Amino acid sequence: MLTSRSCPEHCTYCPHRITASFRQRSVENVIAELEELCGRYHACTHIKIRDPLFTFDRDRCFHIAEAIRVRGLKVLV
C-alpha cells in the first residue's frame, strides 16, 4: 500500500529522483482502502506499507493509527 507519491526533497544524488510534486493521500482515503481490504478478506489482514516517506508527517501517522483503532480495523501492519 502506498500512502504518498514522489518526494518533497530535490536531492541531486538520489537514484530514485522523481520530478513530480509530492502528494500524500488523505487520512480518510487511506482508512477507506484499509476498510475495503478488511471487508474483502473478512479476517485479520496483513498490510505492507511500502512507502519510504510514510513517517514524513508525524501527525498524519498518528491520525492514521488512531483511525485504525477507533474503527476497530483488525490489521497487521
Binned average pLDDT, 10 residues per bin, the chain of 77 residues: 86 74 93 89 78 91 94 81
For the chain, what is the total number of helices (H) and then of strands (E)?
2, 4
* Whole-number pLDDT of residue 8: 83
Is residue 30 packed enough to be buried (19+ CB in 10 Å), middle (13-18) or exposed (0-12)? buried
Residues paired with residue 46 on neighbouring β-strands, in sequence order: 76
Question: pLDDT at position 59, please?
Answer: 97
How far apart (Å, rounded) are the C-alpha atoms in residues 58 and 62?
6
Q: What predicted TM-score, i.e. pTM, was given to this entire model?
A: 0.81
pLDDT at 17: 67
